[in-house]
Structure 1
C-alpha cells in the first residue's frame, strides 16, 4: 500500500515538473523583436517621427493624431467602397494636417474630448469598413 502511494506521489510530481518546465524550453526558441510585421498591408507608413519622440506628458497629442488617422481611414473606406492598402493605410499627412489646423492650440482636455469624438466617428464607420475590407481579404 505504501509503495503504491509513493509511486502515485512520484508520478504526480514528475508530471507536474514536466508541465512546469516544458513551456520554458519552448520560450527559448522565441526571439523577441520590436519590429512590427503585418499580414494585411505590410507596407504601412510609419508614424511621423515627432509622434514617436513625443514626451510622455504630451502623449495625448500622439493619441489624438492616431484617432484622427483611424477615423479618416475608416470613413474613406466606406466613402470609396474600396479597401486597397493605399486607402486603408495612407500617409499620415492628412491626419497631421487636421491636427495642426484644428487642434494644435487646444488645451489637453480639449484634445481628449476631440479624441473621444474621433473614436466615436471611427466606431460608427467600422462595421461598414470591416465588411468592405473582409470582402477584399484586407481585414
Structure 2
C-alpha cells in the first residue's frame, strides 16, 4: 500500500509538468529559416499542390536537396546562393525526367535523390558548419 501511495504522489507531481511541456511543443506557422534568410520560395504549383499529389512536391524537394549538396561539395563553399539558389534547376529535372512518370517511379526516384543527398550531406555539412550555414 505504501508503494502504491508513492506512485500516486509521483504521478500527481509529474503529470502537470508533462502537460505543461506538451503545450510548449505546439508547432508554429512561422517557417523562418535559421540560416540564409533569403531562401527562395518553392514554385507556386508546389505550394498549392493537392494533397493526393504531394509525392510530386516531395520529389522536387529531394532533387533540390541533392543538387544543393552537390553544389556545396563541388564548390567547397556554402554561401547562401550556392546552397539555396532558385528552384529552376530542380524543377527542370522534374519536368524533363519525371512529370509524366507513374506514381511508383516517382516514389523510387524520390528515394534515390534522398539517398544521394544523404551521402553528399556528410561531405557538405563540415563545409557549411565552417561557414556558419548549417
TM-score under structure 2 length normalisation:
0.81
- Distance, in Å, in 2 between the alignment partners of 1:13 and 1:110 is 54
Q: Do residues 105 (structure 1) and 70 (structure 2) align?
A: no
- Distance, in Å, in 2 between the alignment partners of 1:10 and 1:109 is 56
- In the alignment, structure 1 segments of 5+ residues that lack a partner are none
Q: Do residues 21 (structure 1) and 31 (structure 2) align?
A: no
TM-score under structure 1 length normalisation:
0.79
* Structure 2 equivalent of residue 89 of structure 1: 84
Distance change >3 Å, CA 28–CA 58, structure 1 → 2: closer
The alpha carbon displacement at 1:66 in A equals 0.7
The alpha carbon displacement at 1:40 in A equals 2.0
RMSD between aligned residues: 2.4
Alignment of 1:1-139 (within 5 A): 13-25=8-20, 32-139=27-134
Structure 1 ranges of 4+ moved more than 6 A: 8-11
Corresponding pairs, count: 134
